Amino acid sequence: MSPVPTAPAVPRPIRVLVAKAGLDGHDRGAKVVASALRDAGFEVIYTGLRQTPEMIAEAALQEDVDVVGLSIHSGAHMTLFPRVVALLRERGLGHVVVTGGGIIPPADAKALEAVGVGRLFGPGTPTRDLVEYLRSTVAERRAARAAGPVR
């Protein structure tokens, strides 16, 4: 009996959790980003307003996401971004890309990068830049995970 041919594996769409952390009630940008990512073929989960870092990390785990995108306009980025990164790592989700946007000074962006936050996107950034960044970064992370742990 000959083996049954199998179709090549098709990678699943990139899954993105878009979250508004903290008390920031301004979510127009988050909704625009969520819509643009859906239009680009991503699966998007929008958590809504006033999410705690714990709620965001738990949603990322439950939804099996590749990316957590945080939108912050409250000025609390230096507290909230690192906390989300730490909670994701605690849950075994260190491979998840953490990115975001808002009003974030360049010096703060550098400090956030040092704790594991990816590229940040400010107001006016073309959504295609975000789409390209996520596609390439998620592909790199998926390839690294498939290759197994580095020894």
Of 21-30, 45-54, 123-132, the range with the lowest mean pLDDT is 21-30
Position 99 pLDDT exceeds 80: yes
- 33-91 pLDDT, tens digit per residue, is 999 999 999 999 999 999 999 999 999 999 999 999 999 988 899 999 999 999 999 99
The CB-side HSE value for 84 (13 A sphere, CA atoms) comes to: 37
Q: Report d(CA 130, CA 100) in Å as an integer.
A: 10
Tally of helices (H runs) and strands (E runs) in the chain: 5, 5
Domain layout of the chain by residue ranges: 15-146
Please give the model's pTM, rounded to 2 decimal places.
Answer: 0.90
Strand order in the sheet with 15-20: 43-46, 15-20, 67-72, 97-102, 120-121
Q: What CATH class has 15-146?
A: alpha beta
Q: Report d(CA 41, CA 34) in Å as an integer.
A: 11
Q: What is the pLDDT averaged over residues 122-142?
A: 96
Per-residue pLDDT at 92: 97
